[in-house]
């Protein structure tokens, strides 16, 4: 009788291990190597290199900036 119990325990432990291993595997697949992921596309500031969501970024001359200030700094620094 105790042997049957032992086999049942082994099966349950094996099943739980397999389940947790599969969960780990899927979690790793769900995380692409990006700085921040909330379904948003991140762009890099051309001035300071900060990553900002594309909808919050300031676009200027095909480049992205974290703030209007950095876009203006780049524009004013062009002549020199
Ligand atoms: Zn910036």
Is residue 36 within 8 Å of 57, Cβ to Cβ? no
On whether both 27 and 55 belong to a single domain, the answer is no
On whether both 47 and 27 belong to a single domain, the answer is no
- Whether 32 has a pLDDT exceeding 60, the answer reads no
Residue 39 CA, ligand 1 centroid: distance in Å: 22
Residue 32 CA, ligand 1 centroid: distance in Å: 24
Nearest to 68 by CA among 52, 78, 79, 80: 52
Residue 27 CA, ligand 1 centroid: distance in Å: 32
Q: What residues are neighbours of ligand 1 (ion), with CB under 5 Å?
A: 45, 47-48, 50, 66, 70
Read off the pTM.
Answer: 0.47
- What pLDDT score was predicted for residue 44? 95
On whether both 42 and 71 belong to a single domain, the answer is yes
- Whether 33 has a pLDDT exceeding 90, the answer reads no
- Whether 10 has a pLDDT exceeding 70, the answer reads yes
What is the domain range of residue 62? 34-80
């Amino acid at each position: 009788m105790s042997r049957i119990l032992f086999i049942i325990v082994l099966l349950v432990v094996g099943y739980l291990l397999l389940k947790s291993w599969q969960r780990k595997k899927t979690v790793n697949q769900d995380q692409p190597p990006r700085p921040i992921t909330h379904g948003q596309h991140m762009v890099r500031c051309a001035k300071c290199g900060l990553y900002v969501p594309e909808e919050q970024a300031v676009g200027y001359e095909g480049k992205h900036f974290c703030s209007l200030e950095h876009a203006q700094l780049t524009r004013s620094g062009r002549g020199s």
